[in-house]
């Protein structure tokens, strides 16, 4: 039987329309195969276009669209400074945890912990897990912490006993006096701190009640601010009986250090004849250490220290810092951080600006803020600097 006869026999009974469809389908396959070539890696592409030419075109396309680089977060040269003891571990954990939750988890500023004795491994281990930020632990040099040998201990001891009998807070404490002197004239000289310009002082058992979405350090830097505070109040007069007279002696010797646009009105109601006892509460302060390291402040501190007032009385770092900032800085270099909700028991600052309070998701009660308490000096500051 011939081929024609067998084909006729095989297609016999199949409708013609199906035969036509099969022929058209086969023709389309042949036409598509003529326009393709097969590459060694199994990918097919139109004839006349090679892998190398495609790769070159892709490379040119990539070259015209640079891969975006993640922006660098701008930060100030700044650190947290925490003066504490091993026994204050739980209180420090609370403070650091709140600083991280309210601010530093978004900014990753480093921490410097200082102690008059070495921190334990347990202290460092438990603190270090709280933040990915750099944490450094330092020991305070002996001469920066302990009572100087030139202090007459008999006189100092008598002063402590008298204050203790008068129920002056920390009146009988030598270690408290060591701390006040250290914070007044030495913390910014510590080797771990020397590399930084700005600092934020943190103490054990404090609370931060509001989110802080913007960077206070950069605010200080960008707006030429030198000293920042949240709470101001009156000092105990019995602890600083000779301080103002000593300040007046210094300024009479060095009037060139007193800024013409100073904040004398914050610390005196009679143009400097008497000290009104107002000061910025220094357990919270954000400041520029270049000021403390300046000739004006260092000469001022050395003059105060030479009188022995830190030990013969109980001069605090808060009035010392506040008087120096008020006299030696222009008033617009001092800043009230109203947006930072802060508590150091028994006093709390909580913004009364409802928009700030809501945006900060503050946990404090504005009605309980210390700002306009009768013992607060915020009104005096606002009279000098104007309301914020």
| Close Cβ partners of 89 (under 8 Å, ≥ 6 residues apart) | 122, 123, 126, 127
Residue 233 CB neighbours (<10 A)? 17
Q: Is 60 designated active site?
A: no
Collapsing DSSP states into helix, strand and coil, what is residue 4?
helix
- Please say whether the beta carbons of 349 and 370 come within 8 A: yes
Convert 84-103 to b/e letters by CB count within 10 Å (16 or more is b): beeebbeebbebbebbbebb
Name the β-bridge partners of 45.
Answer: 37
| Close Cβ partners of 103 (under 8 Å, ≥ 6 residues apart) | 208, 211, 212
Q: Strand locations in 230-358, DSSP E?
A: 232-234, 278-280, 286-288, 334-336, 342-344, 347-349
End-to-end Cα, the chain, rounded Å: 111
What distances in angstroms separate CA 60 from CA 28, 52, 55, one per listed residue?
35, 12, 9
Q: How far apart are CA 291 and CA 81, in angstroms?
A: 16
Find the catalytic residue in 285, 295, 355, 382: 285
Q: Which of 212, 372, 376, 241 is nearest to 312 (CA)?
A: 241
Q: Which residues are catalytic?
A: 285
């Amino acid at each position: 039987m011939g081929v024609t006869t067998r084909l006729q026999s095989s297609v016999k009974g199949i409708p013609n329309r199906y035969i036509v469809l099969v022929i058209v389908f086969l023709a389309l396959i042949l036409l598509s195969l003529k326009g393709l070539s097969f590459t060694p890696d199994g990918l097919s592409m139109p004839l006349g276009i090679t892998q190398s030419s495609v790769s070159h075109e892709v490379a040119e396309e990539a070259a015209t669209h640079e891969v975006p680089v993640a922006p660098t977060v701008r930060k100030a040269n700044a650190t947290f400074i925490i003066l504490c003891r091993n026994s204050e571990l739980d209180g420090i954990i609370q403070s650091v945890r709140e600083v991280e939750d309210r601010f530093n988890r978004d900014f990753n500023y480093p921490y410097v912990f200082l102690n008059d004795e070495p921190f334990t491994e347990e202290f460092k281990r438990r603190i270090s897990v709280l933040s990915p930020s750099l944490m450094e632990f330092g020991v305070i040099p002996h001469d920066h912490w302990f009572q100087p040998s030139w202090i007459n201990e008999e006189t100092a001891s008598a002063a402590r006993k008298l204050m203790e009998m008068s129920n002056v807070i920390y009146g009988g404490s030598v270690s408290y006096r060591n701390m006040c002197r250290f914070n007044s004239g030495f913390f910014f000289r510590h080797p771990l701190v020397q590399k930084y310009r700005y600092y934020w002082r943190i103490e054990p058992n404090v609370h931060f009640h509001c989110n802080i979405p913007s960077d206070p350090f950069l605010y200080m830097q960008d707006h030429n601010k030198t000293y920042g505070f949240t709470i101001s109040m009156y000092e105990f007069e019995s602890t600083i009986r000779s301080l103002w007279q000593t300040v007046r002696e210094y300024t009479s010797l060095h009037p060139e250090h007193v800024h013409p646009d100073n904040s004398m009105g914050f610390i005196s109601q009679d143009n400097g004849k008497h000290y009104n006892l107002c000061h910025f509460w220094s357990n919270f302060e954000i400041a520029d250490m270049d000021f403390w390291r300046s000739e004006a402040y260092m000469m001022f501190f050395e003059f105060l220290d030479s009188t022995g007032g830190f030990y013969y009385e109980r001069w605090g770092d808060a009035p010392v810092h506040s008087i120096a900032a008020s006299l030696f800085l222009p008033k617009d270099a001092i800043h009230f951080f109203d947006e930072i909700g802060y508590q150091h028991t028994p006093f709390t600052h909580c913004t009364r600006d409802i928009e700030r309070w809501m945006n900060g998701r503050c946990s404090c009660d504005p009605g309980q803020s210390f700002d306009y308490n009768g013992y607060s000096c915020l009104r005096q500051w606002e009279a000098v600097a104007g309301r914020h």
